[in-house]
Structure formats: C-alpha cells, structure tokens
Structure 1
Amino acid sequence: MNVFKTGMFLSLFSAPWAFADDQIAAIFDGPVFGSVIESQPVDFQSSVALQALMSSGSLTSVELVTHLLRRIDALNNKGPQLNAVIEINPDALGIAEQLDQERAANVKRGPLHGIPVLVKDNFDTADKMQTTAGSPALVGPAPQHDAFVVNKLREAGAIILGKANLSEWSAFRGDNIPNGWSGRGGQTRNPHDLASEVCGSSSGSAVGVAAGFAPVSIGTETHGSIICPASKNGVVGVRPTTGLLSRAGVIPISSRQDTPGPMARTVTDAALMLTAMSGKDARDKATYGVPNNPVDYFSYLRADALQGKRLGYPVKTVEGQFMDDDPAFETIKKHLRRIGAILVPIDVPASNRYTEWELLQTDFAAELNTYLQTRPGLDVRSMNDIVAFNTRHPGAENYDQNNLINSSSMDIEQQLYFEAATQLQRTHRELIDGLMGKYGLDALIDWSDRSFNGSGALAGYPGLTLPVGANEKGMPLGLYWLSTAWDEARLLSFAYALEQGLPAGRQDL
C-alpha cells in the first residue's frame, strides 16, 4: 500500500497550494541531493525505504535532513504555512553527520539509524530547543533531561529534527480554542484541505508526517489526541496501553490516561518506533508492570495475520446510521474478507463519561505543578503562575483559559476521587472486554473511534488508526482498531495485513 505518493497526497501538489509551486519545485532542484532525490523523491518514503537508500550508499542522513529542512521552510513557514513544526533542532545536521560517520564505520544502531523524527512540543529535550506544550509561559531554560522515550529514540539512532506544534497545553487551555492552535506555534493546518479540521492535540505530529516533513513522529494521547489527528490527516497512529511507554519527561494532563505513541506513514514504521521507545523506566514505575518489555513489534507483522480473525464493528454509528449502509465501509469489509477476516456486527452500548472531565482537571492541576518543579529557571512555578502569565500576555487572539483556571481550583475529596476514577476505568474496560468476550472477537473496528466514543482511552487500552483511502470529498478515512490491554502486537499485525491487502495508490472508497 502506498497511498502517500500516488493517492491521497496528490493534493500536496495541486490547486490549494498553487501559489507555492515555485518553492516546492525548488526543494527538489538543489544540487546537494544528487540523482536519488531526482529519481525517487524522499518526501513520502517510509523509514524502511529511506534506511535501504542510506544502507546502499544512495542517500546520506545529511542529504535527507537538508532536504526535509528545505521542505519545512517552503511549506511550513512559507507557502501554505502549515505551522506543523514549531521549532527546528539547530543541531539536526550535526547529528546527521555524526550518524553518517558511524554508518561509514559499519556502526549501525538499528533500523532508525539516521531517520529524522518530529517530537511533539510536550516532550522534554535536553538540547537547544524549547519544551513548552505550545505555551509562551514555558519559554526559558531547556529541561535538564530528555524524556525517556526521546532518549530511547536517540539511542536507536533517530535524529530529533524538531518540535511539532500542538493544541496548547494538549487542548487543556480553554474551550473556545481551535484544535491545533498554540500561542507559540499558531494554527496547524490540514495538508489535504487547509480549511479542514486537523483535530487535536497531536496535530503537528500528524501533519508533519502527512506533509512529508518527516517519515515518523511522536505524539501523546489522553483522550483521542493521537487517534483523531492521525485519522484526519491520513497517517498511522498508535495509542499504546497506558503504561507501556514511559511518561517521564512529558508535560502531563493525567497519568491515569496519558501515553506517548508513534505516528507514521506505514504500520511497519509505527512498529519500529514503538519497539524503539519501549523499555522499563525507573521514573515511571508503570513500565515495570508491562509484560515482556520491550517487545519486538516488527517481528509480529504478517500479511496473513487476519486469516480466521473475528472483527467486531458497530451495527449503528453514533448518529444512528447503519454501518452496512456506508459504501466506503462495505468496500473495506470486502477487502477484510478477501484476506481472511470474519466481520461480526455488534451492538455497542452507550458509555458513561460524565466524571471524566472533572477527574482530568483534578489530575492536571496536581501533575503539572509537580512537573514544573523539574524545570528550574522557568519564571512560572505553578498553574496559578501560568494563569497570571496568560492574563498579562493575552495575545492577539485573546483566547480564554477557563480550563486552566477551573483546574487550578478543583477540589475533590480524595476518597470520592479514587472511587470515581476507579469506576470510570472499570466501566470502559468492562465494555470493551465484554464486547470481545460476548461476540468471540479478536479486535474491534470503527471509523475513527466514532462509535466507541473514547472508551479505549478511558480504559487505558491500545488503539490504532490506519489510513484506508479518502472519502468523496478527498479527505482521509482512518479505520480504527481497538483491543484489550497489552494487545499492541496483534493490532499492529492486523492493521499491517489490511495495509498490505489494499490496492496501491487508492484515492477513494
């Protein structure tokens, strides 16, 4: 499957961006790139394909990074101004040169050696870049340590190319703020249609991959912030089981639901990223409870993984429409059956989320204040300081900050909090486990988590979205996969099987 070069991404070089044609053309004409760039543009190549080019000597990391930096300048900063990248790593070319030297000396750290990665701007990086969650209030000295997953990527040979824009404070600043906007980065825009929804909060991480700024990226999810933007922008997104990946060094919302996760062009790339970021971390004890940590997720990918597997799908959408009446879904069902899957219609009971927001606000206030103590030298030391900063510096948009204000004043009695949090998680775990047990399922599927309404995130269970083409308006369609705890390997293998089984270059369903 390669929709990225001949399918959905044709819009990158068509009418909406006609005013940027000269800039786009200039990207490919630079003499530094040689024949490989001219004959095989790297913008939408997977990390696996790029690794093969570098291993063969046809491409270097320096050439690749130089090319991507020019592309970011042309399309992120100029032209359509996607605003997906909030900051470039000034050391990226130097790191690429070092990794090229290692490769020349027959030293290869792994499948991500020399591969550029975009990192959401809520991951600590102990370098020359800022870590701010998109907020000007956190501009100041860099963190003292990398986030655990960032350090793991560096160890694996990945190049941290830059920071990705996001919904400020991971969409926890205020209610009237558009998805993908931050005070530092401005408004992230969808590369398929500049006026369309990017979703949040890991919008920059998704758009960065979709627009060809990097083959892979990392985002975070508390409730939909990986799955939704990945689906809306047509890339693979993985939300792991909560606790699989360390949250240490990540600006938090709630440790009950927060998780990092990879975004990528292909399932293979996502599997490689998830493997590289995994491991036990003393700063996040939840990682000690992960079975067989780390797992080589790449080794589970098989084209026949769906043979005889039972996939449950909702009989009706949340709008009350029958899924079987959707022509695009009928086409997907045919592809799934052709590669051996058994499709099972299921009734999804309504789920209860009424306490989630209050619990998240309580967590946010306490956990952000704790995080800020790890950032010596900043002018803000508490959530109240951030509220005061925003009051003094409202910005041209003058967006509200009611979520910050309400979170700072939340006061739930401890026993009541514990009971409500426990019940919320149990309810959604029982919903998912109950459906899989009742119908004898291997996984659940849906359009972009519309019918399960965030139950996977609330349960702390893994989810994955796979781009499967475009709808009648040319916008990406993402098929959502959901399962029970620690089932990432099977979900990746199932999505891989469908990815391999779809027609190459498919533009619509």
Structure 2
Amino acid sequence: MKRRTFINLASAASFAPFAFTISGCTSQSKEKSSEKPSENDIKEMTVAEMQQLMQENKLSARKLTQFYLDQIKTIDENGPALKSVIELNPDALSIADAMDQERKNGKLRGPLHGIPVLIKDNIDTADKMQTTAGSIALAGNIASKDAFVVKKLREAGAVILGKTNLSEWANFRSSRSSSGWSSRGGQTKNPYVLDRSPCGSSSGSGVAVAANLCAVAIGTETNGSIACPASMNGVVGIKPTVGLVSRSGIIPISKTQDTAGPFGRTVADAAALLAVIAGADPADPARYAGNEPIPDYLKSLNRDALKGKRIGVEKSFLKQHEAIDSLLKKALDQMESLGAEIVEIEFMKTQDTEGAESDLLQFEFKDGVNRYLAGSNAKVKSLEGLIAFNNTNKAKAMPYFQQELFETSQQKGDLESKEYKAALRKINQVADRLNREFEKSKLDACCGPATGASWCIDPVNGDFWTGYGSYGPAAIAGFPSITVPMGNVSELPVGISFLGRAFSEPELIGIAYAYEQASRNRIAPKFIESIGKA
C-alpha cells in the first residue's frame, strides 16, 4: 500500500581496507588500465571501482567530488534542471582533501572513504547546511548536532556533498501533493522522462543516484519513500528493519514506521552504505538490540544466494498491466533458473489495517514533529506554528495543494489516547500476519512489482498511483525490503521489491544481489523530454 492510498482513505563503521574489492562486489567491473579515468568513465562507476582507482592513485576524493559538483551544476541546476539537490555543502572539497591526505598517510577508514554522499533534507547536519524537510517554514534551521546516520558517515570518511530535495514534509502535508515538490526546492524531475514523476518522498536522493550526481545517497521511508523512488528511477533502495538505522536527528513522521536507508546504482553500493549507517543508538528507543554486532553486509553478495530459496510472489499483481506482467515473468524465470522456487501467495492482504495506519501516522506525526521543532533551531516551534506560517505565506508555501494532513494531525490527542492505542494494536497485527505467511508457505522472501511505470507530473491534481506497491506490508510491519531494477516500460524504469522478516537484511541482500547479477537491468537515464519525443 502506498502512503497516498491510506491518506485518501482518511556498529560497523570501520572496515578492513581489503574487505571491499571489485571482484567481490560490483556488477559492472571495468578492465584495469594504467590511464586515469575520464569523466565518462566515472559515470556509472561503482563504489568499489572508485576505491580501487583511489588505491592505485588514479583517482582522488577531490577529483571525484569536483566531478559530482560539476555534474550537479550541468544537469541538476541547468540542462534538464532535475532539481534533485536542494543545497550543496560548501565544505565538500575541503572534506575530500582531508580524506585524500589521510589516504596518503596510510589511513583508510573503510569502503566509503572519500566517497561523495548526498543526504535527504530532513536529516540534520551540524555544518553550514540547513535542514528544512523542503519547507520554507524551516528556512535557516541549521542543526546543532549531526543526526546519528550523519555522524556514522563522517566517521566512515564519506564526503557529505549536499542535501537532496524531497516531497515536502516527506509527503505528509496533503493528500494530493506532487511527489518531489517542495516549497523550498521546487519540482524534482524523473531523469528518464522529464515530465514524469520521480516518486517520493526521497525523490532527490533517488534521482541524484540515477543521474550520476553522487555515488550513493541517503533517503528515509515511512511507507514507500525509498522503494518507490528506487523503482521509478532505476536504482537500488534498501528500506531497513525499523531500529537497524537510528532515526535520531531526522524530522519524523512515525516512530513506528520511520527509517533511513541507502540508495545506490548497485546492490553492492547500497549494501556498503547500509553497513556504515546501521548500528545501535541509545537516543532511538527502537534501536537495534541484537546481541551480535551488525553483520558485514558485503559478505552477503553471493551470486548463488537464490539457490534453494522459496520466494513468494503476490499473485494479485498478475494480469494488471501486460508490460509489467512481462517484466515480472522474466524476473521469476531468472530466479527459477538460479535455483529458486517460486510460490504464488497473497501476502498483500496482511497489510490491511482498516484505516489504522492513517490514524497512527497522524498521532505520531503530531507528537514527533512537535518534539523535533521544540528542540531545533527553526523559528517555527510547533505543528500549530507550521499551520499558521503556511496560512500566512500561502502563495509561496501552498501554491498547488493545501495542508489538510497537518490540520487533521493537529486535532489528534496524545499518544496515551485510546484511539491511538487501538490504531497501534492494529498496526502491530500486520507483523504477526506477515510472519505467519512466511511460516505457512515456508518462505525466504516475498516479492512483487514495487510500482507501475511513472505517471506524468501534475501539481494541480497530485500523484496518480498506478497500483502495485509490494513493499507496503514490510513498511507497516517494520520489516526490511530491497527494491532492484526489474526493467523498463517505454523508457520508464520499474523495480521489483523483495521483502523479508525483521533483521533479515543479510539474506535479502544476497537474494537481491543474485537477481541483479543475473538480470543486469540498470540502464542510465537519457533525459528524454516526454514519451514519444525520444
């Protein structure tokens, strides 16, 4: 289920230098050369390849960072004007220089050392950049403290390149918003077909990775906000188990469903980023509480990981769209050829909450955003203040759609109310039902089309959801999902989502990687103006 559907119904930061090699982790390895890479070589390059070239002194973090800064200026600000990057880090080159110096001195922090990363603009960075959730109401909000995920990235040697645009307030302001639009950043475009939606709410993160504006990026998801942009922008997105990645320092919607997660052009790149940002944070009550350390997700990159696996496919998704049917059939055939057993099931029924998800998110949004704003450096300090600001600045803040979700959330009580507790009980039943489905059918994972093909951008009427949404049960249950390119329909990417049980990321990464290596569906965008004008 997509967020719009229910709205309408109402420490693994350090790695051994040799642990991330091209031969083990990339799907598009290039032959070794004594030549330094050109700009065209850097496009579509994997993180492992970047590290190899830096290790061979053929590439530097500064050159890589400058390349992406130039790409952003050429493609994002000018050219197709994707508007996926909302703000650049003025310290990016100096961070890159510091990482290059550390490398020269023999210090290598891990697979993200010197790698440029973009971060969604609802995640705090204690630097010169703002954190606004795309809203002009939060303009000037410079955090006093890094979010936990940002702290982990800095410790890992990543270059914080900038912040990405998003569906304003992570798509939680109106029931007819346009994905990728924010009052601060404007409308993000899909790099494959420019008049099509990038989906959201992590629109900018998905688009930037797809368009080669960064190596990898961080997004957030409550229900579909990583999976949907990954699907529609032809990249890999991992929505982790709730609690595996800390939410502290992230502007919230739901303490029950929110999580941050990685985007990459390959499963290996996304897994490398997840390995860095995962970990227990005492400031997050849903923190990872496993007795074992965070797994080395790179060890899950096994081409034979589908052998002997039972994969459940949602049969209600069949015969909805002939082009999607064709892509799904091909994907299932490829998985079977790798030794998987495909089982037709109906796992989407497990997500039915009778409207409880909408209620839960409104209660938790009010509670969470009031807590965040009260402790922030934003001028607006409450949800009530946000509503008032938007009403006062309606022409700029709400030119296309309104703030009815803000208003209905403001009317909710606190988290001790009977209505909230009843909604939470219904939400918790989704995890139980999904677990029972896994046990009954003896499944290792479930799968289905993440989305249909992207719709045309429509700021007046909002998004036009095209069915599917196989990631929904995992989002509501707090379970992990991984979305991987499944193919293209008339130049538009469509992804397949794999769902697993809580903290089954190692198994899911293996399954997704094996499928990716067999299918090789990732195609770089062509920035086509419109379908029929290729």
TM-score scaled to structure 2, two decimals? 0.85
Q: Which runs of 4+ in 1 moved over 6 A?
A: 1-6, 322-325, 504-508
Q: 1:39 to 1:349 in 2, by over 3 A?
A: closer
> Counterparts in 2 of 1:59-458, with a 5 A limit?
59-317=59-317, 321=320, 326-348=325-347, 350=349, 351-353=351-353, 354-376=355-377, 378-396=378-396, 397-411=399-413, 414-426=417-429, 428-448=430-450, 450=468, 452=470, 454-458=472-476
Q: 1:329 to 1:98 in 2, by over 3 A?
A: same
Question: What amino acid maps onto 1:423 in structure 2?
Answer: K
**Range with bigger deviation, 156-165 or 296-305:** 296-305
1:9 counterpart residue number: none
Which is helix-richer, 1 or 2?
1
Q: CA deviation at 1:507?
A: 9.3
Gap runs ≥5 in structure 2:
1-24, 452-467, 526-534
Q: CA deviation at 1:373?
A: 2.0
2:37·2:58 contact (CA, 8 Å) conserved in 1? Answer: no
2:327·2:487 contact (CA, 8 Å) conserved in 1? Answer: no
1:3·1:504 contact (CA, 8 Å) conserved in 2? Answer: no
Q: 1:324 to 1:96 in 2, by over 3 A?
A: closer
**Range with bigger deviation, 346-355 or 191-200:** 346-355
SS in 1 for 2:83: coil
Question: What amino acid maps onto 1:459 in structure 2?
Answer: A
For residues 375 and 41 of structure 2, what CA distance do their matches in structure 1 show? 42
For residues 5 and 189 of structure 1, what CA distance do their matches in structure 2 show? 29
For residues 323 and 395 of structure 1, what CA distance do their matches in structure 2 show? 42
For residues 245 and 151 of structure 2, what CA distance do their matches in structure 1 show? 12
1:3·1:469 contact (CA, 8 Å) conserved in 2? Answer: no
For residues 495 and 213 of structure 1, what CA distance do their matches in structure 2 show? 24
> CA deviation digits over 1:237-263, x for unaligned, max 9?
011111111000000001110000001
Q: CA deviation at 1:415?
A: 2.9
Q: 1:355 to 1:94 in 2, by over 3 A?
A: same
Q: CA deviation at 1:349?
A: 5.8
For residues 320 and 505 of structure 1, what CA distance do their matches in structure 2 show? 24
Question: What amino acid maps onto 1:500 in structure 2?
Answer: Q
For residues 65 and 199 of structure 1, what CA distance do their matches in structure 2 show? 27
1:462 and 2:453 are equivalent in the alignment: no
Q: CA deviation at 1:506?
A: 6.9
1:500 counterpart residue number: 517
SS in 2 for 1:285: coil
For residues 236 and 40 of structure 1, what CA distance do their matches in structure 2 show? 21
Q: 1:483 to 1:324 in 2, by over 3 A?
A: farther
For residues 507 and 332 of structure 1, what CA distance do their matches in structure 2 show? 20
> CA deviation digits over 1:435-488, x for unaligned, max 9?
2112111100100062646111110000010113212x0211211100111101
For residues 149 and 500 of structure 2, what CA distance do their matches in structure 1 show? 23
Question: What amino acid maps onto 2:93 in structure 1?
Answer: L
2:234·2:522 contact (CA, 8 Å) conserved in 1? Answer: no
2:265·2:522 contact (CA, 8 Å) conserved in 1? Answer: no
For residues 202 and 403 of structure 1, what CA distance do their matches in structure 2 show? 19
SS in 1 for 2:118: strand
2:471·2:498 contact (CA, 8 Å) conserved in 1? Answer: no
Q: 1:324 to 1:80 in 2, by over 3 A?
A: closer
> CA deviation digits over 1:325-373, x for unaligned, max 9?
9222221122112211111112346342311112111111111010112
For residues 401 and 249 of structure 2, what CA distance do their matches in structure 1 show? 27
2:359·2:423 contact (CA, 8 Å) conserved in 1? Answer: no
Q: CA deviation at 1:324?
A: 12
> CA deviation digits over 1:159-189, x for unaligned, max 9?
1100000000101122232001001100000
For residues 4 and 191 of structure 1, what CA distance do their matches in structure 2 show? 21
1:324·1:330 contact (CA, 8 Å) conserved in 2? Answer: no
**Range with bigger deviation, 476-485 or 496-505:** 496-505
Q: 1:277 to 1:184 in 2, by over 3 A?
A: same
For residues 349 and 123 of structure 1, what CA distance do their matches in structure 2 show? 31
Question: What amino acid maps onto 1:488 in structure 2?
Answer: E
Q: CA deviation at 1:281?
A: 1.1
For residues 28 and 375 of structure 2, what CA distance do their matches in structure 1 show? 40
Residues paired across the two proteins, number: 477
Q: 1:291 to 1:113 in 2, by over 3 A?
A: same
Q: 1:323 to 1:355 in 2, by over 3 A?
A: farther
Structure 1 vs Structure 2 CA RMSD:
2.4
For residues 187 and 323 of structure 2, what CA distance do their matches in structure 1 show? 36
Gap runs ≥5 in structure 1:
7-33
SS in 1 for 2:42: coil
1:28 counterpart residue number: none
For residues 325 and 92 of structure 1, what CA distance do their matches in structure 2 show? 41
